[in-house]
Amino acid sequence: MNKGGAGGGTSGAGGPTAAAAAAAAQKQKSLQQRVDNDIGSIVDNFSIVVNVARVQAADSLLKLVSELKQTAIFSGFASLNDHVEQRSEELNKQAEKTDRILGSIGEDAAASLKEMESHYYSSVVRSNQHLQQ
C-alpha cells in the first residue's frame, strides 16, 4: 500500500506542476506572438517612415533641380544680354568708323570733282567746243 499511496501521491503532485508548466508555456507562446507582432509592426512602420523620407528627399531634390534650372536659365539670359550689349557696342563703333570713312571718301570725291571741273572748264578742248557753237 505504501507503494500505491506513494504512486498516487506523486501523480497528484505531478498534475498541478504539469498544468502550471503548460500555462507558463502558453503564456510564453502568447508573449512571443505579441513580441513577433510588435516587431512586425515596428518593421512595417519603419519601412513606411523610410519610404516617406525617400519621397520627401526626392521632392526636395526635384525642387532643387528646378531652382538650379531657373538659375541657369536666368544666368544664361544675363550672360546673353551682356554678350548682346558687347556686340552692340562693337557694331556701333564699326558704324561710326564706317561713317568717318564714308565722309572722308565724300570729301575726296568732292575735291576730285572740283579739280576735274576746274581742268575741264580751263581746258583747250572745252574752249574749242564753245567757240564752234
Predicted pLDDT at 14: 54
Average pLDDT, rounded, for the chain: 85
- Grid cell, residue 67, equals 531652382
Instruction: Show the 3-state SS of the chain.
Output: CHHHHHHHHHHHHHHHHHHHHHHHHHHHHHHHHHHHHHHHHHHHHHHHHHHHHHHHHHHHHHHHHHHHHHHHHHHHHHHHHHHHHHHHHHHHHHHHHHHHHHHHHHHHHHHHHHHHHHHHHCCHHHHHHHHHC
Identify the top-confidence range among 2-16, 87-101, 107-121.
87-101
The pLDDT score that the predictor gives to residue 8 is 44
Distance CA 46, CA 6 (A): 59
Domain boundaries, the chain: 17-132
> Cα–Cα distance between 117 and 121 in angstroms, integer?
6
Assigned C-alpha cell, 7: 504512486
Say whether pLDDT at 1 is over 70: no
| Site of grid cell 528646378 | 66
